[in-house]
Amino acid sequence: MDLKAHMNSNTFCALTWMHTSSEPYGTCRSCCIAREHIKDDKGNILSLADYSITEVLNSPYMQKLRTDMLRGQKPKQCQTCWEDEDNGKESKRLLYNRMIKDFGFKINNAVDNCRPRDVQINIGNTCNLKCRTCSPVCSSKWVKEWKDRDRKIWKPEINVNMNDYDNSKFWLDIDGWSKTVQRMEIMGGEPFYNKSFKRLVHRLIDNGSSKNISLNLSTNGTIYDDELMRLMLKNFKAIGVNVSIDGVYEHFDYIRHGVAWEKVKQNLDDFFKLYADQHQYKEPNGYWKMNMSYTVTIGLLNVHYLRDIHEFFEKNYINKTGIANHYRGQKENALEGDRQVPRLEIWNNVVYYPSYYSSNNMPEEIKDKVLHRVTNPEDYGLRKWHPDTYNNNIVPIINHTKRKGGDKEWMAFVNETIHTDSYRKEKFETTFKELFKIYKPYWLEAMKEITTPQAQFKIEALAENKG
Ligand code: SF4
Ligand code: SF4
């Protein structure tokens, strides 16, 4: 079968031939946006603890998905891609069909004999933070608070724990599935806080797979392990580090909760130092081995401070990188001559789930006021946006915030914030003073309403989604 002939069809997805995306309990999907889990014929969800990645990729479920696509069908679990394409947006499917050419991924030509090339592994929910928008499914630190607050924790029926090293197929078959992998993305929990991550790195180095793998990981920035970072740089084909930070100073402490900002700032400096000094690891062909970026996830708690967060990263790190410093007008901070490294970037995400943290759910009447600090930063003593950054990265967030929101989501946000504050002995109103001043009249109104049984019912239904 010649897959090239299908590559440009309206239904072919290269990911289904080479990828799997796992979740903290080892359950998996054809990709992270697929709308159902990979299951067996009886409807049981498959876990990487019971099946190796190669077995999951060649399961009857995945074979059927590939076959349906080759026949020109649009499987319902891939609805997000079909909707994005109907809306004129480049879907994940189209993006990957394009990317596999750039990355040179090899995909096999038989429906029942695929090999993993690009895998997204969730190494478990072990985490040292309990970010406001997260939950016990992704963070072990949330578990106690969740139980103390009498909330149900979702857990799939699983026989073996994914990180049970003696019994989990993920670990038992690692030499098999890892030898064809070219790109690996590690999710958590917090990888540097989870001993299974370190074990994974060592196993991949020991079995020789690491030299073919570009390893990408997301970290919350609370731990910097210099020895492990250098070991990975030396042994993997490439390393990508994405540091997620949703606020700076006391906003960080409030939103992410668990490790003090001062410690995180020190780690950010250390990550940057390694990034800026990576010349020793550069490949003979001139390729850089380390890639780094910052991810900012924007919602009702922090959208007002978007310029503040960007300015922090620009001043401290971004403006010291890249060959385009003169273009940014920041020449005085740039690293000199051959110490230049590729420019760092910020990725802006918007919160969609839980929906009551999404920035579009603030009352319509105050949206312009809240966004004024973002659209006119000079009025607040902040630097003007670079026009490219503003148009390409900030305008979509402003547009998202301006989309019509829901009253019940706003009530749920106020309700959740008050209860979390009370449990953690924190205070939204004093930590985010400027923002609270704008929210206040609507916040007080919501407080009155959330005590009615009708509102409580709606709010609880939304809160269930978080688990
Ligand atoms: S078609 Fe879209 S949703 Fe389905 S596996 Fe491919 S990228 Fe994922
Ligand atoms: S760092 Fe990541 S996994 Fe940990 S609580 Fe925050 S969002 Fe969840």
pLDDT digits (tens, 9 = 90+) for 79-95: 989 988 887 778 899 98
Within its chain, how far is the Cα of 411 from the centroid? 26
Q: What's the predicted TM-score (pTM) here? A: 0.89
- Under 8 Å between Cβ of 220 and 244: yes
Rounded Cα gap, residues 162 and 151, in angstroms: 24
pLDDT of residue 281: 87
Our CA angle for 346, 220, 315, nearest 5°, is 40
Task: Check pocket membership of 129 for ligand 2, CB cut-off 6 A.
Answer: yes
Amino acid at position 383, single letter: R
Tokens representing 64 are: 């059927």
Question: Considering only CA atoms, which of 372, 380, 254, 246 is closest in space to residue 313?
Answer: 246
Question: Using a 6 Å cutoff on CB, does residue 127 contact ligand 2?
Answer: yes
Query: Distance (Å, rounded) from C-alpha 65 to C-alpha 13?
Result: 10
Instruction: Mean pLDDT check: name the lowest of 158-167, 310-319, 327-336, 377-386.
Output: 327-336
Pocket flag, ligand 1, residue 20 (CB < 6 Å): no
The pair of structure tokens assigned to 63 is 């074979």
pLDDT tens digits along 284-308:
777 889 999 999 999 999 999 999 9
Mean pLDDT, residues 178-183? 95
- pLDDT at position 99: 82
Q: For residue 92, how far is its CA from the centre of ligand 1 (angstroms)? A: 6
Q: Which of 184, 199, 198, 188 is nearest to 137 (CA)?
A: 188
CA distance 350 to 336: 35
Q: Give me 192's structure tokens.
A: 């540097």
pLDDT value at residue 293: 94
290 DSSP β-pair partners:
239
Ligand approaching nearest to the C-alpha of 124? 2
Give the dihedral of Cα atoms 46, 50, 51, 52; nearest 10 deg: 130
Distance 142 CA to ligand 2 centre (A): 9
CA proximity to 92, closest of 27, 30, 171 = 30
Q: Which of 139-148, 156-165, 297-306, 383-392 has the lowest mean pLDDT?
A: 156-165
Is the CB of residue 81 below 6 angstroms from any atom belonging to ligand 1? yes
Cα Rg of the chain, angstroms = 23
- Residue listed under structure tokens 């490439």: 238
